[in-house]
Amino acid sequence: MARAAAVKAVSGEMSDASDRMGQILSESARLFATKGYDGTSMRDIAEACGISKSLLYHHFTDKDEIYARIALGSTQRLFEFVEERLPEGGTPPERVRAFMTATGDYFQRYRSNWIASTAAFWSDPELRRHKERMMWRDRYEGLIRRLIQDAINSGDFRPVDVPLTGRLVLSSLNWMHRWYRPEKGLTPAQIADSYYDLIFNGLKAE
Amino acid sequence: MARAAAVKAVSGEMSDASDRMGQILSESARLFATKGYDGTSMRDIAEACGISKSLLYHHFTDKDEIYARIALGSTQRLFEFVEERLPEGGTPPERVRAFMTATGDYFQRYRSNWIASTAAFWSDPELRRHKERMMWRDRYEGLIRRLIQDAINSGDFRPVDVPLTGRLVLSSLNWMHRWYRPEKGLTPAQIADSYYDLIFNGLKAE
């Protein structure tokens, strides 16, 4: 019991308040996608969530803050989440693998934000916050490239093209939101781990 | 000259008429994404393209036909395009590789439709045409799974998890639209070919 409570406290996002946050973010993303950013009001968002406007304003100062949270919050937090979970004393391949499974864990934990963030990318022709988003995306991509380069330097990986290999890794993880269904099969971290095995060991029969 | 003309004739989409089609589809997708399907009129689309309504109606009967073309046309045509390009006498690994490079070629040739189709996925909460889209996506995914299974049966691939390996292949190809810029570096087919090498041979140093 004590342990379960501690786990719950650590993974703060599982609390009721953040379920609410997740709901606000995904309803907002849906509205931005269908009615456009300009066509969506704070009232619309509150109504879609079935909450009062004052409760909505309790969570967010204005519409731009919601948008910012959808559009870039998730990439920034993804970077920090993954970086914290790389084993310091691990071998370079272990660190590449940890990057992948941590991304899977992040995806599972903040799935509604992740999906909202991807939808925001498509529904925002004016590219609001584009520069900040790209900065965090570049830092996240820079991290996997560095880990791959380390594994080449240590002699664990063959001398592959680092940017392309980084993209292969990110593609496998980023595409998950399009097909993954939480109710069945492997967890996202297990899927990421299997991808690591496929990419590391290859398909070729011995 | 004769050869260039022949190439142009074969790749029909490069003609002026289909440049126009591509423009109509991408402008429509942008409008659907920002104003919603219901909030977008044929007049809006014609204006965004800088053409008359009568020219627009010359290409498309109504808004639903445009939407259908965006939402599912591209998956159906992708399936047919790729299937036609699998070498009949090729070994199973050659056929997996051809699946990947043909998808890269398709992406390069019909890039604006591809992007419009992905945006449509996100901007349509009512999932119009969802069933038909899924049918073509499943056929396309079924094809790569069959090719991977063939390569396992022939002893060329080790006995990997077929659905997961298929997803890794599709993820690498499907994510290209998010980062690929036509003006520099490798072509999409060359990128797909490099991905094939990475996945087939793995990262592990000998």
Break chain A into its structural domains and give their ranges. 71-201
Alpha-carbon distance B204 to nearest alpha carbon in chain A (angstroms):
5
* Lowest mean pLDDT, pick from A25-29, A157-161, B15-19: B15-19
Q: Residues B74, B75, B79, B80: what is their CA dihedral angle, to the nearest 10 degrees?
A: -40
Average pLDDT over chain A reads 83
pLDDT tens, residue by residue, B70-120: 776 678 888 999 999 999 999 999 999 999 999 999 988 877 677 767 766
Separation CA A112–CA A167 (nearest Å): 23
Long-range contacts of B37-41, Cβ-Cβ distance < 8 Å, separation of 24 or more = B37/A34, B37/B63, B37/B67, B37/B123, B37/B124, B37/B126, B37/B128, B39/A35, B39/A36, B39/A39
Question: In B, which residues are within 8 Å of A121 by CB distance?
Answer: 178
3-state secondary structure A62-87: CHHHHHHHHHHHHHHHHHHHHHHCCC
Give the confidence band of A18 by pLDDT, cuts at 50, 70, 90: low
CATH fourth-level superfamily of A71-201: Tetracycline Repressor, domain 2 (1.10.357.10)
**Pick from A160, A173, A162: nearest CA to B204:** A160
Indicate the residue of A155, A161, A170 with minimum beta-carbon distance to B205.
A155
Given an 8 Å threshold on Cβ–Cβ distance, is B34 in contact with A125? yes
The predicted structure's pLDDT at residue A10 = 36
pLDDT tens, residue by residue, B164-200: 999 999 999 988 888 888 777 899 999 999 999 999 9
Separation CA A149–CA A160 (nearest Å): 9
Does residue A93 have a pLDDT over 90?
yes
The predicted structure's pLDDT at residue A61 = 92
Instruction: Count CB atoms within 10 A of the CB of residue A134.
Output: 14
What three-state secondary structure class fits B11? Answer: coil
- Report B:71-100 residues touching A (Cβ under 8 A): none
The predicted structure's pLDDT at residue A47 = 95
Mean pLDDT of B9-19: 48
Separation CA B130–CA B123 (nearest Å): 12
Give yes or no for B174 touching A (CB within 8 A).
Answer: yes
Average pLDDT over chain B reads 83
| Token representation of residue A119 | 């939808």
Does residue B12 have a pLDDT over 50?
no
User: Are B180 and B191 a contacting pair, CB within 8 Å?
Assistant: yes
Alpha-carbon distance B93 to nearest alpha carbon in chain A (angstroms):
9
Question: In B, which residues are within 8 Å of A130 by CB distance?
Answer: none
The predicted structure's pLDDT at residue B31 = 82
What three-state secondary structure class fits A157? Answer: strand
User: Is CATH 1.10.3210.10 correct for B2-201?
Assistant: no
Q: Which of A32, A91, A114, A171 to mutate to test the interface with B (most CBs of B within 10 A)?
A: A171
Question: In B, which residues are within 8 Å of A148 by CB distance?
Answer: 203
Alpha-carbon distance B85 to nearest alpha carbon in chain A (angstroms):
22
The predicted structure's pLDDT at residue B7 = 35
Given an 8 Å threshold on Cβ–Cβ distance, is A172 in contact with B176? no
Residues 6+ apart with CB under 8 A from B16: none
User: Are B115 and B29 a contacting pair, CB within 8 Å?
Assistant: yes
| Token representation of residue B91 | 């070994």
Question: CA of A206: which chain B residue's CA is closest?
Answer: B158
